[in-house]
Structure 1
Amino acid sequence: MIPREVMQNIRRIQINTSHVVDDLLAGGWHSAFKGRGIEFEEVRPYQVGDDIRTIDWNVTARAGEPFVKLFREEREMSVMLLVDLSASQSFGSHHQTKRELVTELGATLAFSAIKNNDKVGLTLFTDQIEKALPPRTGTRHVLRLIRELLYCDPIGRGTDLRAALDHLGRTASRRSVVFLISDFQDEGFERTLRVTRRKHDVVPIQIVDRHEVTMPNVGLIRLRDPESGKTVSIDSSSRRHRRAYAELMAARQASTDAMFRKMRMEPIRIFTGEDYVEPLQRFFRRRESHA
């Protein structure tokens, strides 16, 4: 039996994301993500206007009149959410932590998937695999995914993207749409990501807080890396310190962006405390225009 308070929080997420799914995402999902391909359905007599390239010559020869092949798109897909729950996800300076944003975003993507009759699965990871739910359909399954996103208490604190991608490679036997949701505060995963990209349609979603990008002018502050536990004191009133910090963060972001460009991937960058719908809309529009 799920506690009442837990169920209320799950339902709140469901309600908050339902209008996003209905109004903004569901319509573009079909065009943005292709099914497994086209499969033969049946033959029928030729009608004026049919493409002559679809004529089934074997059936036509036996019947003495032209017949054409009919095909349908095999729509069912598996959608995998690979979600980073490392300690850095607890940070947030705009009335929302990164993990809270990840939960709402994950719920939106999961409901979008099942609304289009696709299966959706979830892998939560830190520097180890924390939880893995295989792809399934149905609202009850998505509600369980939301519960894990909300209440999973991770054992690890660091980030190991390579381990998460390796786990996907071992468990996902068929091609899937993979939403890799992380702040990408990790190194050494490029080769594994490249291998994963060959088999799956990988969509990186980078979760960022504005104060991770630029340091506020609030005097002497102590910064603590939530993953390593290391602390350092910085005088944020120093323009030189703020500029050096901003340049360091910009260089890291440029390196991440360059990696994605080299792999021809389309990352989505979403900030805490800001609307995540518009970045998703832009992504779907780009995908639809390139389809």
Structure 2
Amino acid sequence: MTYGLITELNELITLRRLVSRKRRHLGARAAKAGNHLSCIRGRGMDFAEVRNYQAGDEIRHMEWRVTARTGRPHIKVYQEERERPVILIVDFNPSMYFGTKQAFKSVIAARLAALIAWTTISQGDRVGALLFSPREHNEFMPKSREAGVLPLLASLNHYTKQFRQVQNENKAVPLNQILSKLNRVARPGSLIILISDFYELDEKCEPHFSRLKMNNDILTYHICDPLELSPPKPAIYAITDGKQELLLDTTYSKLSEEYKVWCDSQQSKIQTNLKRLRIPYSQVTAQTDLSLLVDQTFPRRQRV
């Protein structure tokens, strides 16, 4: 029985149906973005043409070189970008191959990434990705058609199947290294989607986030397991990382209290760091309705 431990490619492809269904019922909800999108710039503007200046045009859009050459005032005209690059950054570090309810965090991340990929191309934008684990990383240039999404889904599926190998890795890929790389390859005006459990979030990430935010928008989805949010009901639990096993006795009240303090501290640290950087944040567990989450937090537009 592997459901929840890994994904199947057909499962990720089938998620497209949820996007098609949602598009028929967007209505007013499409515009109701919620608090998550308060920091999102929205679609940029592409240069379209130069024309003669008309009364009421904004002086800041004057095309001074053409004006000087012709002796008549000219202005630049812009139009909304037809395609915005959306870049998925999906973390498959060892801590992602863990789960106590329904699915590993790696599986939840893959499903969420697939749903966002289908949503992106359904509204006429391009989706690319950077997937990483201690064993490998894969980059996908932004593409706008189904043929460009399928290799990405195949790679997501491949990463979920690495859980036995990756769990044996002693080191995780530092998130600051991924953000540094992203600063070199992301096209200005991109929407960057970071899907991670943020175990590797530290102070070294902050300058990279700040630099990315200068020219791009960022959304973060924090993949959590219930055991990372609060201690389980009082009992004795066997916990293993695949190599070692220990017993967690939550009937011992002091241990349970200390565990709760640790959980709250970890969550607070992540949320505080991202809030300080004004980066929208959503918490995701196996119980989260991913389709509803994307509908509420992902910037949408009607396809042109």
* TM-score, structure 1 as length reference: 0.77
Q: Look up the match of 1:150.
A: 157
Q: CA 1:8 to 1:73, structure 2 compared with 1: closer, same or farther past 3 Å?
A: closer
Structure 1 residue 15 and structure 2 residue 17: aligned?
yes
Partner secondary structure for residue 183 of structure 2: helix
SS in 2 for 1:39: strand
Q: Secondary structure at the match of 2:266?
A: helix
How far did residue 161 of structure 1 move? 1.1
CA 1:24–1:237: 2 relative to 1, 3 Å:
farther
In the TM superposition, 1:38-53 aligns within 5 A as: 38-41=46-49, 43=51, 51=56, 53=58
Alpha-carbon offset, residue 185 of structure 1: 1.1
Identity %: 20
Give the conservation status (yes or no) of the 8 Å contact 2:221–2:284: yes
| In structure 1, distance between residues paired with 2:178 and 2:286 | 23
Query: Does the 8 A contact of 2:30 with 2:295 survive in 1?
Result: no
Q: Secondary structure at the match of 1:216?
A: coil
List runs of 5+ in structure 2 lacking aligned partners.
1-6
Contact 2:190 2:216 in 1 (8 A): yes
Superposed counterparts of 1:205-284, under 5 Å: 205-217=221-233, 219-224=235-240, 232-284=246-298
State the partner residue of 2:4: none
Structure 2 counterpart of 1:35, one-letter code: R
What amino acid does structure 2 have at the position aligned with 1:81?
A: L
1:104 aligns with 111
1:226-276 per-residue CA deviation (whole Å, 9 max, x = no partner) reads 7xx665432122222222111101011111111112111111111212213
Q: Bigger shift: 119-128 or 77-86?
A: 119-128
Matches of 1:10 and 1:256, distance apart in 2? 28
Is contact 1:222-1:233 (8 Å) kept? yes
The amino acid of 2:232's aligned partner reads: P
Distance 1:10 1:284 in 2: 18
Offset at 1:200? 2.4
CA distance in 2 between counterparts of 1:281 and 1:160 reads: 30
User: In 2 relative to 1, CA 137–239 (structure 1 residues): closer, same or farther, beyond 3 Å?
Assistant: same
State the alpha-carbon separation in 1 of the partners of residues 126 and 85 from structure 2.
Answer: 5
**Is the contact between residue 193 and residue 220 of structure 2 (CA under 8 Å) also seen in structure 1?**
yes
Q: Given the alignment, which residue of 35, 45, 49 partners 1:37? A: 45
Counterparts in 2 of 1:52 and 1:190: CA distance versus 1, 3 Å: closer
Q: What residue is the counterpart of 1:162 in the other structure?
A: 176
Q: Which has the higher contact order (CA 8 A, sep 6+)?
A: 2
Q: Which residue of 2 aligns with 1:190?
A: 205
**CA offset at residue 84 of structure 1?**
0.7
Report the AA paired with residue 204 of structure 1. Answer: T
**Which sections of structure 1, spanning at least 5 residues, go unmatched?**
none
Is the Cα contact below 8 Å between 2:121 and 2:146 reproduced in 1?
A: yes
Q: Judging changes above 3 Å, is the alpha-carbon distance between structure 1 residues 131 and 24 closer, same or farther for their aligned structure 2 residues?
A: farther
The answer on whether the counterparts of 1:216 and 1:236 sit within 8 Å (CA) in structure 2 is yes
C-alpha distance in structure 2 between counterparts of 1:150 and 1:38, whole Å:
35
